[in-house]
């Protein structure tokens, strides 16, 4: 009997997904308030996370489970390197270092790869499907929030090797559903995906201090206050994200 892992992941991570979107840093981003220092630190953290994930997945390219969702066209390391050069300059490698939350995230990826490589599926799903689903909306917000020109500092959101992102997401979900796994393994993958959302949230929360310092506490509080009647880019982003 096949396991509908794609559905299990979508349904099983809804709460964690919503919690991540309601972190103050993310709520400000979704309202178009993007502070360059915080943003470039986020990219630096993501560089270490993606570098670790892509290195570990490459190690398991022949693994009976990991190999099924190992698509090198999703890789983000080189795109992040382009963006970091833009924000930090040619000596960017000497300027960036992982934050404590990013270090914990990287450590978990390494640990999973060594002990339970099938759980790398959860980390791939959490990061790449989110990038594909909401990437273009976030790109536009970053451009407007930091007054960027097209092609400046937003390579992370560009999947040049994927011609049709919607078709590719369908292919990825089909790959998830065809994995040779049992129900118990699928449940462990969903648990790991929820943990991955938690690791992402911790990275976002670390950035709030810089953001508050830049825009002021009063503005930060007004931007992150719950507003049940608003109908804006947040809903557009949520609709895009719900597709994965």
pLDDT at residue 230, rounded to an integer: 47
pLDDT at residue 221, rounded to an integer: 80
Mean pLDDT by 10 residues, the chain (244 residues): 88 93 87 88 97 98 97 97 97 97 98 98 96 86 90 93 95 96 97 97 88 75 64 54 59
Q: Which domain holds residue 205?
A: 5-241
Q: CA-to-CA distance for 125 and 138, rounded, in angstroms?
A: 18
pLDDT at residue 107, rounded to an integer: 98
pLDDT at residue 39, rounded to an integer: 93
Q: CA-to-CA distance for 198 and 190, rounded, in angstroms?
A: 13
Q: CA-to-CA distance for 34 and 211, rounded, in angstroms?
A: 8
- CATH number, residue 217: 1.20.910.10
- Residue 84 — φ and ψ, nearest 5°? -65, -35
Q: How far apart, in Å, are the Cα atoms of 58 and each of 62, 133, 141, 217?
A: 9, 23, 32, 43
Q: How many domains does the chain have?
A: 1
Residues 180/2, Cβ–Cβ less than 8 Å: no
């Amino acid at each position: 009997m096949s396991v509908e892992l794609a559905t299990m992941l979508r349904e099983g991570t809804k709460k964690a997904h919503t919690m991540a979107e309601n972190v103050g840093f993310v709520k400000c981003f979704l309202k178009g308030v993007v502070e360059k220092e915080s943003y470039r630190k986020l990219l630096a953290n993501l560089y270490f996370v993606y570098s670790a994930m892509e290195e570990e997945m490459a190690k398991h390219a022949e693994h009976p489970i990991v190999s099924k969702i190992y698509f090198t066209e999703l890789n983000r390391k080189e795109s992040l390197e382009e963006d970091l050069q833009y924000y930090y300059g040619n000596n960017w490698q000497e300027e960036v270092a992982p934050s404590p939350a990013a270090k914990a995230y990287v450590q978990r990826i390494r640990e999973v790869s060594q002990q339970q490589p099938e759980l790398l599926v959860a980390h791939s799903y959490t990061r790449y499907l989110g990038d594909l689903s909401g990437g273009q909306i976030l790109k536009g917000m970053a451009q407007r929030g930091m007054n960027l020109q097209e092609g400046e500092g937003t390579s992370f959101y560009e999947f040049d090797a994927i011609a049709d992102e919607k078709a590719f997401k369908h292919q990825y979900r089909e790959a998830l559903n065809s994995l040779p796994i049992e129900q118990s393994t699928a449940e462990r993958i969903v648990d790991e995906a929820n943990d991955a959302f938690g690791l992402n949230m911790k990275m976002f929360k670390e950035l709030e201090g810089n953001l508050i310092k830049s825009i002021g506490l009063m503005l930060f509080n007004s931007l992150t206050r719950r507003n049940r009647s608003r109908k804006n880019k947040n809903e557009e982003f949520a609709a895009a994200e719900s597709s994965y």
